């Protein structure tokens, strides 16, 4: 079960990044092109947030129930801090990803508030960009795309 959920979690990261890039490109095009805020702009933010929520759910299942790294950390926090990989997944990864989830959702909500379309795009661009930067920092790039299911 661990390998399947971990593989899903790794695949969904690409979906998150694709929707994040789409939301950012749309927001910057609207901001610098002075375009009207459209339903598609709103949907890119919704899809980005939905992908993040799915990723968060898979990550929490791994964190709480399945991952040998985090279950070891939860049993002996002090000892786990001496292992860089356990510390990364037990503290750094989850905290940064929670920040990214909050940034995406706050950006989605805040981008709907301004009356001016350019301000909506600017707000979305700033929040979504910050979220993607945090995501890129927090992704364990050394892990294979499908760990436990043949690597690569």
Q: pLDDT digit string (tens) for 29-57?
A: 999 999 999 999 999 999 999 999 999 99
Q: Which residue ranges make up each domain of the chain?
A: 2-138
72-106 pLDDT, tens digit per residue, is: 788 887 877 888 888 898 889 999 999 999 999 99
Mark 68-94 as b/e (b = at least 16 C-beta within 10 Å). Answer: ebbebbeeeeeebeeeeebbbbbeebb
């Amino acid at each position: 079960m661990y390998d399947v959920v971990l593989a899903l979690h790794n695949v969904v990261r690409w979906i998150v990044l694709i929707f994040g890039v789409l939301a950012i490109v749309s927001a910057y095009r609207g901001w610098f092109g002075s375009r009207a805020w459209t339903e598609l702009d709103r949907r890119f933010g919704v899809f980005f947030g939905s992908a993040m929520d799915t990723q968060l759910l898979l990550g929490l299942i791994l964190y709480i129930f399945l991952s040998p790294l985090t279950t070891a950390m939860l049993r002996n926090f002090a000892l786990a801090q001496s292992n860089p990989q356990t510390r990364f997944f037990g503290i750094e990864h989850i905290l940064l990803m929670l920040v990214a989830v909050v940034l995406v959702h706050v950006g989605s909500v805040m981008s709907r508030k301004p009356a001016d379309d350019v301000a909506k795009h600017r707000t979305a661009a700033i929040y979504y960009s910050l979220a993607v930067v945090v995501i890129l920092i927090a992704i364990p790039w050394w892990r294979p795309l499908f760990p436990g299911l043949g690597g690569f």
